[in-house]
Amino acid sequence: MTLVKNTAAVSSLTLLSRIFGVIRDALIAMVIGTTAQSDAFFIAFRPFDLLRKMFSDGIFSISFVPEFSRYIAADQRDRAVSMVVSALVVLSAIGVFLVLTGLLAAPWIMQLMAPGFEPGGEKFSMTLVLFRIMMPYIWVIMMISLCMGVLNTLGNFYVPGITPLVFNLVVILFTLLVTQYVDVPVTGLALGVIFGGLVQLVFQVPLMLRHGMLGPARFVLCHPGVVSSAIKMVPCMVGAAPYQVNMLVISFLASFLADGSVSFLYYADRVVQFPVALIAVSFSTVLLPFYSRKAAAGELAEIATVFDTGIRLMVFVAIPAMAGLMILNEPIVKLLFGQGAFDALAAVQTAECLFYLAMGVWAFIGSRLFVTLHYAVGSFRHPFFAGLISIGINLLCASVLMPSMGITGLALSVSLSSVAGFVFLLCHPPAKIWFSKSDMLVSACRAIFLSAIMAFSIKWVAGFIICDSGGKLLLGAGVMACVGLGVAVVFGTARALQFPELDVVKQWSRKKSKRTDFYGHD
């Protein structure tokens, strides 16, 4: 199966999962709105969501897959199975330790996570209960991530790709069926997170057994592959997850603001995750095993060819996506979340957060692609420093912007910090991996030009067809018409002007030993 087919498959499953994720969040918004309960749930859930994205969205795989791929590429199956079993035992022990520690130290952890919640107050106590309910999810996350990394390396992207959809379906069921039968509705959501994770894990275990990855193997506690992965784990997390860390930090800071502030940021982030997941996560999931195999075989030229094409495709697609989210921020929020307890004021506040958070979409995606490339070829220093720079800039900007701009300043600080991290990675590519920065800049300029035309078109048409007072059906039809118009304008104009980026997919699908780029250079 070609890279394009794998990427398309993962993108399709990711899109489906994100759609149900939005349905899940829309139901949560309808049931609990943007209240003290919702703030308590999102603060308690944010660390687990951070770990889930670090592990299950492929960041754990960044440290694990290259080592595992080397055994697979060298046809050393026994050592590969031994590495999986060793990782299973080590991760289980770490997971159990973290769960027990979290349960015991929860009050002190909550004071760090929500410094704006008064200790002993109702919101603080509610957050504490929810945090303790979800603590076992840590172990589940680790097991899911291990299975996902192994299965992706073995070429199976479908089952790991569909399990997030299963998670969302379980949480949706708990939101609809359980929350109405408990005294505090958000406790039903917390239970849904636990059961959703368990079902997600159960789906992957049979395939692991079928591949023989959980079969008999010589157990080595300090397996060289596991030790190497563990050493790389912390710098990998810092380098690959600055966006998630920054969202965690601004959620903590938002606890000082009015009720609902944490929720506004959460819902805005959920919308931003649509293009980020479709482009960055999908591409990284497929490209990491590919890069790792090529790096193990010493075929750096082929890695450079694929990355050179991919990074230009990224800016060409991500910049219009950013513009679309910024233009349609309020209609999108009202369409997705504007019902039940999620009132008009909440929609406006969330839309404002989305506007500023969307500014960094292209940088979020670009950084993830660079980090995937670095880690696949064994380069860890520059992503680590880029992560530190991004986190540091976020803290600085948040402290400056929050007093004057409030919650929107926190959203803007995340975007600015992501841009800083991307620029650092752009200036420090891995050694021996060549790509044309000038050609990438040309693609970006083309995307900006197309986005400007698209923005003018959508803004003009939206004034006629988007109507808040006509109900969800008319609002949805208006938003979808504007999205369709935007896509048609971007790709129609690109085709009319014969922009070469549209031929990227065809170029990726061909197996060429000779490099030919967008611009006809050999």
What gap in Å lies between CA 84 and CA 154, rounded to an integer? Answer: 13
Q: Which of 138, 136, 130 has its CA nearest to residue 186?
A: 130
pLDDT on residue 398: 94
Phi, psi of 259 (to 5 degrees): -55, 135
Does residue 14 surpass a pLDDT of 50? yes
Q: Which of 357, 377, 363 has its CA nearest to residue 423?
A: 363
Residue where the block lists tokens 């018409």: 481
Does residue 133 surpass a pLDDT of 90? yes
- In whole angstroms, how far apart are CA 204 and each of 53, 161, 170, 210? 18, 10, 16, 10
Backbone conformation region of residue 155, classed left if phi is above 0, alpha if psi is from -120 to 50, else beta: left
The percentage of the chain sitting over the pLDDT mark of 90, rounded to a whole number, equals: 24
Q: Which of 502, 232, 466, 165 has its CA nearest to residue 334?
A: 466
Two tokens, residue 493: 């104009």
Backbone conformation region of residue 340, classed left if phi is above 0, alpha if psi is from -120 to 50, else beta: left
Cβ burial 192-231 (10 Å sphere, 16+ → b, else e):
bbbbbbbebbebbeebbeebebbeebeebeebebbebbbe
Q: Confidence band (pLDDT; 50, 70, 90) for 518? A: very low
What gap in Å lies between CA 142 and CA 157, rounded to an integer? Answer: 18
Q: Confidence band (pLDDT; 50, 70, 90) for 246? A: very high
For 43-57, the pLDDT digits (tens) are: 888 888 878 777 655
Question: Please, what is the angle between helix 36-55 and helix 122-134, to 10°?
Answer: 30
pLDDT on residue 195: 92
Residues 249/398, Cβ–Cβ less than 8 Å: yes
> Stretch 175-190: mean pLDDT, rounded?
84
- Mean pLDDT across the chain: 82
Q: Confidence band (pLDDT; 50, 70, 90) for 445? A: very high
Does residue 450 surpass a pLDDT of 90? yes
Q: Confidence band (pLDDT; 50, 70, 90) for 157? A: low
Residues 17/200, Cβ–Cβ less than 8 Å: no
Q: Which of 281, 278, 322, 342 has its CA nearest to residue 18?
A: 278
> Stretch 257-267: mean pLDDT, rounded?
86
Q: Confidence band (pLDDT; 50, 70, 90) for 289? A: low
Two tokens, residue 397: 């900007």
Question: Between the CA atoms of 58, 63, 66 and 68, what dihedral angle is there, to the nearest 10 degrees?
Answer: -90
What gap in Å lies between CA 275 and CA 15, rounded to an integer? Answer: 9
Two tokens, residue 331: 């209609």
Two tokens, residue 421: 């991290």
DSSP symbols for 186-207 = HHHHHHHHHHHHHHHHHHHHHH
Residue where the block lists tokens 């040309």: 442
Residues 369/311, Cβ–Cβ less than 8 Å: yes
For 30-43, the pLDDT digits (tens) are: 887 777 788 888 88
Counting Cα atoms < 13 Å in the Cβ hemisphere of 221 gives 1
Ranges 50-59, 103-112, 154-163, 510-519: which has the least confidence:
510-519
DSSP symbols for 260-326 = THHHHHHHHHHHHHHHIIIIIIHHHHHHHHHHHHHHHTT-HHHHHHHHHHHHHHHHHHHHHHHHHHH
pLDDT on residue 268: 92
Q: Which of 151, 146, 155, 179 has its CA nearest to residue 63?
A: 146
Phi, psi of 257 (to 5 degrees): -90, -175
What gap in Å lies between CA 307 and CA 215, rounded to an integer? Answer: 36
pLDDT on residue 484: 92
What gap in Å lies between CA 109 and CA 98, rounded to an integer? Answer: 12
Cβ burial 297-309 (10 Å sphere, 16+ → b, else e):
eeebebbbbbbbb
Q: Confidence band (pLDDT; 50, 70, 90) for 438? A: confident
What gap in Å lies between CA 311 and CA 206, rounded to an integer? Answer: 36
Q: Which of 78, 460, 128, 483 has its CA nearest to residue 271?
A: 483
> Stretch 122-131: mean pLDDT, rounded?
88
pLDDT on residue 218: 66
Two tokens, residue 470: 């006509």
